[in-house]
Structure 1
Amino acid sequence: MPRVPVYNVNAEQVGEIDLSDDIFGVEINVPVMHQAVVNYLANQRQGTHSTKTRGEVRGGGKKPWRQKGTGRARQGSIRAPQWIKGGVVFGPKPRDYSYRLPKKVKRLALKSALSSKVKDNEIIVLDELKLQQPKTKEIVKLLKNFNVDKKALIVLPDKDEIVERSARNIPGVETMVANNLNTYQVLRHNKFIVTKDAVRKIEEVFA
């Protein structure tokens, strides 16, 4: 059972917490994490791209010159693909890129991602994170206390608009509610900052 220190917002250790082996101590499965990331990115695609075929490009109804006798190659339309301003061959059309992964695969990927954060010492557990009013400098101070100078994901047990508003203007910093965690967000951030209550929520939801 992994045991990690618990800090206050001033980066002072105030205790320790035991993390669940079933969530934070599983064997890291890289191929499954890759599947989950590809799935997440595919599901984010709008798929609104569109090109025009030769039948959709305006013009080109008239044969540019007669079939024989000119010495030039035969042409039927100035909107054929080989012409400038002609149609596009096999170009993209609007489509849905989304697909579903089995629930067990998604859950295993998330557990592997969380376990990798523990293994690589990229997890920071806070006793609590409470702000009286939205202040970006408070979150900046928190990150500076822990020497976090890259991307960081702050995980809260429940929605906290004050913390979210305080962090949203900091480049590379995102906030999430524990039960909305996904593999992509965990892996793309260098530091995983989570409160004690959020840890318990994660263990409760994803056990």
Structure 2
Amino acid sequence: MVNCAVKNWQGEDVGQASLDFKVAKEENAAHIVHRALVRQLNNARQGTSSTKTRAEVRGGGRKPWRQKGTGRARAGSIRSPLWKGGGVIFGPKPKEYNLKMNRKERRLALRTAFQSRNEDLIVVKNFAQEFTAPKTKELVNAMSRWGVATGEKVLLVLAEMTDNVYLSARNVASVKTVPADGLNIFDILNAGKIVVTDEALAKIQEVYND
């Protein structure tokens, strides 16, 4: 169990929140988190790169010159891979990069990764009511009060995605906003700081602690 201070909109400590996850054993933690990260990155690949072999390139059906007597090297097609405009030898073809991982393992990896970031975790009271309209500057100032450095990568986790908060964060290149039930291993590991509302933290433990 990890205890975290809860901050209000002004950046003052107003309470405590606990983070209690079933995580992987220390000797297996790095391995399972690495597998989950590789799986996510591989599954994001489209695998649509493709090249044409000499059989697929248009043209080259006629022998360019006779076999003997010309003094030149023998050639059977102008679409040989040795020629400009010819086919490609062993080039890429469309393929699937998807890797499989059991759901329980994926959940375990995500919980382990999330709890490992406890030193970079900032828990704040739900602040949706502070935004009656999208205000990027107000959100940036609030993050500064919470201890986020300027330009630092931030993962903002909300219990519910509200338009005003989402639109306020969208204009900041270093901030990514996700719902509590939409966490993924890459975003958790890639962020410099993880800002999560108290309601989102409770929802994360409810959704992923199984």
TM-score, reference length from structure 1:
0.92
The CA distance in 2 between the partners of 1:95 and 1:129, in whole Å, is: 45
Question: TM-score, normalized by length of structure 2?
Answer: 0.90
Distance 1:182 1:206 in 2: 11
Distance 2:168 2:4 in 1: 26
- Give the % identical residues: 46
Instruction: Return 5+ residue gaps in structure 1 as ranges.
Output: none
Aligned-CA RMSD value: 1.7
Q: Where does the alignment leave 5 or more consecutive residues of structure 2 unmatched?
A: none
Q: Find the aligned partners of 2:93 and 2:21 in 1 and give their Cα distance.
A: 46
Count of residue pairs brought into register by the alignment: 204
Worse-matched range after superposition: 54-63 or 149-158: 54-63
Could you tell me how far 1:69 is from its partner in structure 2?
A: 2.1
Q: Is the 8 A contact 1:26 1:111 kept in 2?
A: no
| Residue 171 of structure 2 corresponds to residue 173 of structure 1 | no
Q: Distance in 2 between matches of 1:132 and 1:50?
A: 50
Give 1:21 deviation, angstroms: 4.0
Map 1:11-160; keep pairs closer than 5 Å.
11-22=11-22, 27=26, 29-118=29-118, 121-130=119-128, 131-145=131-145, 146-149=147-150, 150-160=152-162
**For residues 31-56 of structure 1, what are the alpha-carbon distances to aligned partners after superposition, in whole Å with 9 as ceiling and x for unaligned?**
11111111111111122211111122
**AA at the equivalent of 2:186:** Y
Residue 26 of structure 1, CA deviation: 6.8
CA distance in 2, matches of 1:173, 1:184: 14
Do the aligned partners of 1:26 and 1:112 also contact (CA within 8 Å) in 2? no
Per-residue deviation at 1:147? Answer: 3.1
Query: Following the alignment from structure 2 to structure 1, what is the Cα–Cα distance between the partners of residues 83 and 51?
Result: 15
Deviation at 1:106, TM superposition (A): 0.7
The alignment partner of 1:100 has SS state of coil
Q: 2:203 aligns with which of 196, 201, 206?
A: 201
